[in-house]
Every structure is written in C-alpha cells, then in structure tokens.
Chain A
C-alpha cells in the first residue's frame, strides 16, 4: 500500500533533498581541491554550514585552520571577512561603530567586519572577554545591537573561529556561554605524509585559495539550510539522543552536562549530516558520529575546567572527549 508520496523522485521534498545534497557535494569537492586529505573535517564544516551553525577550529598553529576557513568562505561565494583577535581589540572593532554624520545630522552606523557571510575570527581567545562576548548576539541571533538600533546580518552567516589551545599566556579562555554557541568544534590534525609533501611542494608564492571560484551561491546555501529542517528524525533516535544528553548531565565526572541549546545543535547537525549523505531521514550514525564534535566542547569538568582548556593534571579537552566517548559507547543505539 504505497502512498503516492513515497514514490521516489516525484515530490518537492525529494527534489529539495537532491538539491541540498548536490550543494553539499559541490562545496566539499571545491574545498577539497585546496585543503588536502581532510575530507572528514571538510564534510563536517559543510554540515555545520548547512545547520546554520558556527565552527570552532581548534588546533596547533600551521595545520591549515585559516586555509580551511578561507576556502569555505570562497566556496560559498559570499562576502568574507577576517578579524584577527588581539588583546586590545574592542567590541566596536568587530561590530561597527556609530559615527556622527554632519550632513544628515545624525549617527550613521558603520558596520564592522562582522557584517559578512563568512567571518573568520582568528585566534579568538586572544581578545578580552568583552570583545569575545560581542560576538554572542551575532552568532546566536544573526543580528547586532548598537546603541538603540538593531542591525540584521544577512544570511547565510557563518562564524569560523580558530584558537590555539596550547598557548596560555595572554589568552582569555572562552566562557561556557560562548563555547555553547559553536555548533561544532573541529580539529584538523597533522596531514598525512603524502598530503604534507603536496602542500610543501606547491610553493609559497602561489595561494590556491585566491584562485578558487565560488562553487555555490548564497541562495543555494540558504536553500540548503532551509532543507535541513525537513529531515525526518525517528522517535527512537530522539530517545537515544535524550539518553546521551541525560547521561552527560548525570555523570559524576562532569560538573555541567549538555544544555538544551547543545541538544538542539546536535539535533540540527545530525539532520544536516543526513542530507550530506543524500537521505531525508536520520540514522543512528548521524548522531553517533557527531556526538563528540557537537557536544564535547559544551561539557564542563569539575572544578570549572572547561572541556576546551588544558588542565594541570590532564588535558581537559581530551578528558571531556574521553568521558563523552565513554558515555556514547555505553548508551545503546537503536
């Protein structure tokens, strides 16, 4: 008893899924030409883009964090801005500032670098907390309040922040609320021997990112983001996710578990991942594979040591990921 709707290839729903899938494939391929050997991370970055999420790239310097961010920006074809965070950076440097206009006799808002489609916040942990916090509203709501006015940032809007977790001096750790606003935390890691050699041999004068042509349009990205919401998530998967979340909240090894916002992000990321595999429904693997990138940075270890920071006795980040992995391995998947 097939209903008419389930015949493949005929409904608008299926067409939207196909379009979204092709958008994602093109993005991944396009970025893959520049960033070698990191297809997993690229795919997750595209997934985050699809889920209207922001990405925190965390790794040691020189493994291609910035390259990945720039490539992503170029591939989406939107406006790209880069902010180098330093300790003396002020919120107004990021958001923009109101300037007195003699001609119109009123304050004119000069938008800061935040008003772009892809914003690369480089070394975000070098800025003072208030500057970091200035990103909060923009990241969560897509708008910025300056003085009495609210300025909307045009969609798609993606913040790619990078940080170097090993440097302690002169850094301000991101507060939990800030961490919570990133959809995924990704790590690049060293490239394979072959890929590293390819990068080195390419020569320094030549920047492949500059040569990149946009692979998709902003409209396509927006359509992709809209399609994510229609991906079906079966009841048992939701229960599974709830159990994992519940475990993080109950675990004696964690001070703070995953927030409802974290749950929501995980959910959306899983939906986006389903699209990246040309499915209009989620499977357990979507949740399972995204658990660590989407949740680990939201956990707070006892004593206030965040999942993102190095700790005196053990690497807190590794610790958080280990605990989370333990939980995920334990909770039965449907």
Chain B
C-alpha cells in the first residue's frame, strides 16, 4: 500500500508517530507474508483498521466545529493584541477533542495556534492568541484552519473553514514620553476641556440617544411633552492642522527603508492627532490626496475617524498637492473660529507646503 499517497492529501498528514506506526505495519506485512502466520495478518489488519478508525474519529472530531473571531476594538500596528477565538461545537451528542485552530490572515497561516482540549456538544469555548500586525491598514482574515491529531496522533487532519473578518489596524501611537515639548507648549497654552457646551444658543431639537442630559431644556420639554435639548454653536477652540506627508518618489515606493520612514511619519501624525484630540483641540488633517479633506475633528469621539483615515492612507507621489482645508460656510452646524492655526509638518527634509500660516516645524526623529 502506498502510504505516501495518504500524506499528500490536503487535510491529512502523517505525524512522526504515524510514520513509525506505518513502518511497523509494513514490517509486519512482510513478516506475515513470509511466515504465512494468519494471526500476523490479523494483527496487521488491526493496525490498518486502527489507522482508518483514527481518520474517521478525527473527522468526527472536526465536524460541526465552528470557530469565530473576536478581534479587539482597537488595534495599532506593531502592538501585540489578543485575538479572541471562540469555538463552538454544533454536534448533537459527540464532544470534540484536541482541536487546534489556526487563523489565516491575508491567506497566510498565522503562526499562532489555539488549542482546545475538549468542547462538549452544543457548547462554546473561548481562548485567544497573541499576535501583532506589523503595518497599519486593512487586514482580511479570510478563514480558519482547524486541525486535530485526535485520537492517536497518527495523522494530523485539518480543514479550512471560511470566516471573513476585516480588521483595521491603526498606526502605532508613540507614547508621550517622547513628546516634543516645544510643540505642546506652543499650542497648548490655553487648553480647552470640552467642546460644544458653551457658545451661543443655536436651536432646540428633540433629545437623541447620547445627548448630554445637562443640555436638556426643561421648560420647552415640559411644554412639548417630550425631551428637548439645546444646541450650541461651538465656541472658538484651538485648532491644529496636521499636514502629514504621505508621499514618496515613485522610484522609492518599494524601498523598504523609505517605506519604514514613511510609516514612522504617519505614526507620528497619528500620535500627535490623538494627543491633540485628547486634550481638547480641534484637529484638521491634511494629506496629499485628490480627495476633499476630512471635516474638522473636534472631539475625542472622532479619534476613530482620524485614525481610520491614517490607517488607510495610501502612498502617493510628491506631485500630488496637499489637501486645502475648505472655507467653513457660515451656515454650517459647527462654526469654528479660524484663528490660531498651527501648522505641523512631520517629515524630516520634506518640502514645506506652500501655505502661509507656518507656525512650528517639528522634525520627526
């Protein structure tokens, strides 16, 4: 019997023990052939049927087992995170034993495994593996590979289960210890705690989920028999415009060193933006792009949007101009004062965009 054939099957692989087992079987076969002792044939067929039983039991163990991913809410490039894996056994009666789950990220197997000793029928068990994704961007986790050596560790049977999740990896946030002092003092001398609670009255509107209860206008609420809240115009805040230079000359766009530098720049941009948003500044992000810029971000809640934008930022050629912040129309719901702009260019040696309001230039180290 040609056993190599078995090993080539996708999904079934002989383990080292399995090889020994096969060798024992082959030896036994020849001895049985020579001696003509039928009991040796019986023993040989026992070995063979143990192998078949092993395959079938492994199949039974893998059947009806459904893995799910539980990614953490926020991921940053290069930072280890825990990917939760939940394994559910949907079989009616039989438990599943000894199952390994491997994740497929961008069609490659992640080198981490999750091991489940036993999953009783109808139950779900959870575990996690530690992993870190080196680059920002969108990652597609396409499928799982579940495998088992159950019951005798002769074979490793595996199968793929499609389960797609897209995961957005934000740029790495650099911790505050390395924060440029000059910059923070320059723009942070009048820190504003929260935005949107002061300023002149704009309108009354119906209460929506998530509104600050302190903004409820009780008098009109009583009159209308439903909760009404005040809307304010946002008062003047410190505004920071971040120009993040996402360009590389075309001939260097595949140079790993240059790309690493660019990543660093983006990561600095993300860190600064996160810092400012956290400290109550309004942040405007300008990158090299043909698309219109993001609206002005002015609350910690919009950090996600800011980071998403940076996470998906493509590399462009230096000919592409920086986005120009649009004039803010008077009629917009969020009027923001346009004074006190600070311009931060994060790119060592990069040409400074031809903008007038250059405040501080921070060299990223």
User: Which B residues lie within 8 Å of A100 (CB)?
Assistant: none
Over the window 154-174 of chain B, the binary record of Cβ atoms lying under 8 Å from chain A Cβ atoms (1 yes, 0 no) is 000000000011111000000
Query: Does A67 make an interface contact (CB < 8 A)?
Result: no
Known: A170-B329, A313-B294. A136 touches B305 (CB 8 A): no
Q: Among the listed stretches B114-122, B144-152, B203-211, which one makes contact with chain A, having 4 or more residues with CB under 8 Å of it?
A: B203-211
Over the window 298-328 of chain B, the binary record of Cβ atoms lying under 8 Å from chain A Cβ atoms (1 yes, 0 no) is 0001101110110010000000000100000
Number of residues on chain B facing chain A (CB within 8 A): 31
Known: A130-B205, A136-B206. A326 touches B166 (CB 8 A): yes
Please state if B304 and A255 are interface contacts (CB–CB under 8 Å).
yes
Please state if A170 and B312 are interface contacts (CB–CB under 8 Å).
no
Out of A128, A172, A312, A330, which one reaches B294, CB within 8 Å?
A312
Query: Does A302 make an interface contact (CB < 8 A)?
Result: yes
A311 to B295, CA, bound (A): 8
Question: How far in angstroms is the closest Cβ of chain A from B223?
Answer: 10
User: Which B residues lie within 8 Å of A305 (CB)?
Assistant: 305
A38 to B165, CA, bound (A): 35
Please state if A313 and B168 are interface contacts (CB–CB under 8 Å).
no
Main secondary structure of the interface of B (DSSP, over half): mixed
Question: How far in angstroms is the closest Cβ of chain A from B169?
Answer: 10
Please state if A312 and B293 are interface contacts (CB–CB under 8 Å).
yes
Query: Does A101 make an interface contact (CB < 8 A)?
Result: no
Please state if B294 and A133 are interface contacts (CB–CB under 8 Å).
no
User: Which A residues lie within 8 Å of B302 (CB)?
Assistant: 303-304
A232 to B297, CA, bound (A): 47
Please state if A313 and B203 are interface contacts (CB–CB under 8 Å).
no
Query: Does B256 make an interface contact (CB < 8 A)?
Result: no
Query: Does B292 make an interface contact (CB < 8 A)?
Result: yes
Number of residues on chain A facing chain B (CB within 8 A): 26
Out of A302, A304, A312, which one reaches B291, CB within 8 Å?
A312
Which residue of the partner chain B has the closest CB to A305? B305
User: Which B residues lie within 8 Å of A330 (CB)?
Assistant: 164
Out of A87, A128, A253, which one reaches B168, CB within 8 Å?
A253
Known: A136-B206, A303-B305, A304-B302. A312 touches B164 (CB 8 A): no
Query: Does B289 make an interface contact (CB < 8 A)?
Result: yes
Identify which of A175, A310, A312, A330 gathers the most chain B CB atoms within 10 Å of its CB: A312
Query: Does A177 make an interface contact (CB < 8 A)?
Result: yes
Over the window 128-151 of chain A, the binary record of Cβ atoms lying under 8 Å from chain B Cβ atoms (1 yes, 0 no) is 111001001000000000000000
Out of B71, B208, B301, B312, which one reaches A252, CB within 8 Å?
B71
Please state if A303 and B333 are interface contacts (CB–CB under 8 Å).
no
Please state if B71 and A312 are interface contacts (CB–CB under 8 Å).
no
Out of A87, A128, A133, A326, which one reaches B206, CB within 8 Å?
A133
User: Which A residues lie within 8 Å of B167 (CB)?
Assistant: 252
Please state if A302 and B206 are interface contacts (CB–CB under 8 Å).
no
Query: Does A3 make an interface contact (CB < 8 A)?
Result: no
Out of B166, B297, B312, B333, which one reaches A313, CB within 8 Å?
B312
Query: Does A205 make an interface contact (CB < 8 A)?
Result: no
A173 to B229, CA, bound (A): 19
Please state if A172 and B166 are interface contacts (CB–CB under 8 Å).
no
Query: Does A169 make an interface contact (CB < 8 A)?
Result: yes
A314 to B291, CA, bound (A): 8
Within 8 A of B (CB), among A289-334: 302-305, 310-314, 326, 330
A170 to B333, CA, bound (A): 10
Over the window 182-222 of chain B, the binary record of Cβ atoms lying under 8 Å from chain A Cβ atoms (1 yes, 0 no) is 00000000000000000000011110100000000000000
Please state if B305 and A302 are interface contacts (CB–CB under 8 Å).
yes
Please state if A87 and B331 are interface contacts (CB–CB under 8 Å).
yes
Which residue of the partner chain A has the closest CB to B305? A303
Please state if B205 and A312 are interface contacts (CB–CB under 8 Å).
no
User: Which A residues lie within 8 Å of B333 (CB)?
Assistant: 129, 172
Which residue of the partner chain A has the closest CB to B224? A145
- Can you offer 7 A-B residue contacts whose CB atoms are under 8 A? A128-B203, A170-B331, A177-B208, A252-B73, A252-B168, A305-B305, A313-B309
Known contacts A303-B306, A310-B292; can you find 16 more A-B pairs with CB under 8 A? A87-B331, A136-B206, A170-B329, A252-B167, A253-B168, A255-B304, A302-B305, A303-B297, A303-B304, A303-B305, A312-B291, A312-B292, A312-B323, A313-B309, A313-B312, A326-B166
- Chain B positions within 8 Å of A, measured between CB atoms, are 71, 73, 164-168, 203-206, 208, 289, 291-295, 297, 301-302, 304-306, 308-309, 312, 323, 329, 331, 333
Q: Which 6 A-B pairs have the closest CB atoms?
A: A303-B305, A312-B294, A302-B304, A330-B164, A312-B293, A313-B291
